[in-house]
């Protein structure tokens, strides 16, 4: 039990499909993140939400659309993806209290394959 739960764990979608990844954190944190992990590349930060507000979009293509309805839930809506978007998508959360250095806790990831 990690405290950060991601669904689905595996997703296969066509390039014209629309799907969503869901993340829920049970840690009472106020910040949530999406990271992308591709083969042979370091983890890349995609989006950051603090208190439901998006505070960072790391030049992510618009075919990825995040949504944060509350501090416990984070979605990543996927639309017209490309095969190179196939990767492990990791959700994470932390408790932000005004200064950095807060530990970030990760979920188990959602494996996405675009065909």
Partner 1 sequence: AQTVTQSQPEMSVQEAETVTLSCTYDTSESNYYLFWYKQPPSRQMILVIRQEAYKQQNATENRFSVNFQKAAKSFSLKISDSQLGDTAMYFCAFMEGGTSGSRLTFGEGTQLTVNP
102 backbone dihedrals φ, ψ, rounded to 5°:
-80, 135
Q: Which two tokens stand for residue 84?
A: 């190179």
Whose Cβ is closer to partner 1: residue 67's or residue 108's? 108
Rounded to whole angstroms, the Cα distance separating 21 from 53 reads 18
Q: Is 16 in the site for partner 1 (CB under 8 A)?
A: no
Q: Is 56 in the site for partner 1 (CB under 8 A)?
A: yes
Do 106 and 5 touch, CB atoms closer than 8 A? no
Q: Is 60 in the site for partner 1 (CB under 8 A)?
A: no
Query: What are the residues binding partner 1 (CB under 8 A)?
Result: 2, 31, 40-43, 45, 48, 50, 55-56, 88, 90, 92, 94, 96, 98-109, 111
């Amino acid at each position: 039990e990690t405290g950060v739960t991601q669904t689905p764990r595996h997703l296969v979608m066509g390039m014209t499909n629309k799907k969503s990844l869901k993340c829920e954190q049970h840690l009472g944190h106020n910040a949530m993140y999406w990271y992308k992990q591709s083969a042979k590349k370091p983890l890349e930060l995609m989006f950051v939400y603090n208190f439901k507000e998006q505070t960072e979009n790391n030049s992510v293509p618009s075919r990825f659309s995040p949504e944060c309805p509350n501090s416990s839930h984070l979605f990543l809506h996927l639309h017209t993806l490309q095969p190179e978007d196939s990767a492990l998508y990791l959700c994470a959360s932390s408790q932000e209290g005004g200064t950095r250095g807060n530990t970030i806790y990760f979920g188990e990831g959602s494996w996405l394959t675009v065909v």
